[in-house]
Amino acid sequence: MKVLLIYPEYENTFWNVKKVLKVVGKKAAYPPLGLLTVAAMLPGQWEKKLIDMNCQTLNEEHIKWADYVLVSSIIGQKKSTKKVISKVQEIGKTVIAGGSLFTTGWEEFSSVDTLVLGESEEIMPDLIKDMENNNLKKIYSAEDFPPINKAPIPAWDLINLSYYNSVCIQLTRGCPYNCEFCDVVHLNGRIPRIKGREQIISELDSVYEIGWRAGVFFVDDNFIGNKAILKKEILPAIIKWQKERGHPFTLSTQLSINFSDDKDLMGLMTQAGFSTVFVGIETTDPDGLEECGKYHNKNRNLLASVKKIQNHGFEVNAGFILGFDSDKETVFQNQIDFIQKSGIVAAMVGLLNVSPKTRLYKRLKKSNRLLDHKNTPELSELNFIPKMETKTLIDGYNDVLKTIYSPKYYFNRIKTFLREYKPKKVGHTKVGLYHIRGLFASLWFLGILGSGRHYYWGLILWSMFRRPTLLPYAFALPLGLMHFKTLAWAKQYNSYYREG
C-alpha cells in the first residue's frame, strides 16, 4: 500500500513567519506533528511519503504514486486545503481528511471521500482495515477522548528536520477552562489527559537520537492543566534528562496566566529548559473577560502577572482579541497601552472570529448574528455581526496593529521586556550557523535597510550599556518586526484562535 500524507500551506497569519525563517535558513516554524503521529500508526510495511507544502512543492507525480492520500489541516490552512483536495480528486485518487478543520467544520467538505473526525488513536484500526479492503466509509468519528498514552512516537523519518525552526511534541490534550470563543473543549475535552513520565522521555529521546539540538515546542492546549503530576513527575524527569545530555533543547509551550501564581512551578520549568510561554490574555477589560468566560484572568493584575513571569526567566508571547460585545471604543487604546507596558514583544492581536462548535457559535446563531462568507476570501472579514459598528471595529483593529508594529513602539517594547527579563542560566547555548545568520540578518535588514533603523540602533546601544548580558536578545527580537509589520499593513482581519 502506498500512502501520501499532505500538509497544506498556511495562510499569512501571526503564526506563519516565513519571511523571518527564510533569512535564518528555515522554511517553516514547526513540522506537522499530527500527521507524523498518524503516519506512525500506519502499518510498517506500507510505503509512506509526506509533503509539507510549507516547505515542499506538491507535484502530480506525488499524487499519482499513491493509493490513498491523507490530508490533515487546521483552519489557517483552509484555502490551500480546498485546492489540494480538488487537485487530488481531479487525478482520481481517494482523499482521507482529518484534523481540526474537518472535525469542527466537516459540513463544508461534503465532497471529501472520507472524513476522520476527532482524535485518531482509536479510529485508525478500523480505518486501516477498510483501506486494505478498499471499503472506506464516508465518516469515521471518535466516540470518546482516547487515552493519550496510545499516541505513538511520530514518524520523524518522513521529514527533513533541517527545514524547521523547532520540533513539536505533546504532553497533554485538553484544557480545564471553557472559554466561549475557544473550540479546544470540543476538540480535546475539558479534562486534561497527560502522558506518563516514561512516554514523554521516550519522545524526547526520539528527537535527540535523530540529531536535533534546538527548540522543542510543547503543543499542549494548556501545559499546566495538570499541575500536580507536572510538578511531581514530569518536570523532574525532564530536568534530569536535560542535565544528563548537556541541555540540548530550549523548550517553549502554551499555558494560562495563573502560571504566575505558582513560584515553584515557574522554577521547575526554567530548570527544565523552558524559556518562552504563550498566554491567552484576550482583553484587560473585566466585562470582556466575564463575557467570554475567561474567569481565571479576572480579579488579578494582569500587568503584574506578566512581569512576574518575565522576572522568573520567561519571554511572554500573548494573544489579544478585539470584537467582544462589551468592547467600548476605548478598548483600542487600552490594548495598545497594556501591550507597551507589559513588554510583550510578540503581541498577537486578532479580531474575534466565531469557530464552529464553540459556545460563542451557538449563542450568536441563536440570536441570528452569524454571517455566511463562503464566497468571500477566508479570514478576511468578520463572520458575525458585532455590537460595535463594524467600520469602527475594523478601523480600530488596524490602528492597534499599525501602532504596536511600528518601529518606534516595537523597539520600545523590546526595551521594556529586557528591563524585566531575568533569564535563568541552564546549560550553555551553542552558537551555530542559525545564530550567525540571524545576527547578520538583523544587522542588514533592520540596522541598515530598515525604515526604523535609528530606533534599532537606539535599542542596541541601550542594551550594550544597560543590559549587556541580554545583547543577543536585542539583536534577535527585532527580526520579528519583519513579519509582524506585513500583517499590520495587509488588512488581515484574522484571529489567532482560528489557527488551532
**Separation of first and last alpha carbons in the chain:** 31
| Distance from C-alpha of 369 to C-alpha of 463, rounded to nearest angstrom | 49
**CATH of span 2-141:** 3.40.50.280
Strand order through the sheet with 274-282: 166-169, 215-218, 250-255, 274-282, 315-322, 347-351
- Residue 338 phi/psi, 5-degree rounding, is -65, -45
pLDDT tier at 18 (50, 70, 90 boundaries)?
confident
Helix (H) or strand (E) holding 277: strand 274-282
pLDDT tier at 228 (50, 70, 90 boundaries)?
very high
pLDDT tier at 466 (50, 70, 90 boundaries)?
very high
Q: Looking at residue 495, what is its pLDDT?
A: 41
Q: Per-residue pLDDT for 355 more than 90? A: yes
| Distance from C-alpha of 239 to C-alpha of 166, rounded to nearest angstrom | 19
pLDDT tier at 13 (50, 70, 90 boundaries)?
confident
Q: Looking at residue 10, what is its pLDDT?
A: 93
Phi-psi region for residue 343, left (φ > 0), alpha (ψ -120 to 50) or beta?
left
| Distance from C-alpha of 500 to C-alpha of 496, rounded to nearest angstrom | 8
Q: Looking at residue 378, what is its pLDDT?
A: 41
- Which among 347, 480, 338 has a CA at the least distance from the CA of 401? 347
Q: Looking at residue 492, what is its pLDDT?
A: 43
380-437 per-position pLDDT tens digit: 469 999 999 999 999 999 999 999 999 999 999 999 999 999 998 766 566 778 889 9
Q: Looking at residue 490, what is its pLDDT?
A: 62
159-187 per-position pLDDT tens digit: 999 999 999 999 999 999 999 999 999 99
pLDDT tier at 374 (50, 70, 90 boundaries)?
low
Q: Is there a common fold for 2-141 and 165-420+492-498?
A: no
Structural domain boundaries in the chain:
2-141, 165-420+492-498
116-164 per-position pLDDT tens digit: 999 999 999 999 999 999 999 999 998 899 999 999 999 999 999 999 9
- Give the mean pLDDT of the chain: 93
**CATH of span 165-420+492-498:** 3.80.30.20
Q: Looking at residue 379, what is its pLDDT?
A: 40
Q: Looking at residue 245, what is its pLDDT?
A: 97
Q: Looking at residue 428, what is its pLDDT?
A: 57
Q: Per-residue pLDDT for 15 more than 80? A: no
Q: Per-residue pLDDT for 499 more than 70? A: no
Please give the biggest Cα pair distance in the chain.
70
Q: Per-residue pLDDT for 376 more than 50? A: no
Q: Looking at residue 485, what is its pLDDT?
A: 87
- Residue 276 phi/psi, 5-degree rounding, is -135, 135
| Burial (Cβ within 10 Å: 0-12, 13-18, ≥19) of residue 130 | middle
Higher-pLDDT residue of 499 and 251 is 251
Q: Looking at residue 411, what is its pLDDT?
A: 98
β-pairing verdict for 193-194 and 172-173: antiparallel
Overall average pLDDT of the 443-466 stretch: 96
27-39 per-position pLDDT tens digit: 999 999 999 999 9
| Distance from C-alpha of 279 to C-alpha of 299, rounded to nearest angstrom | 17
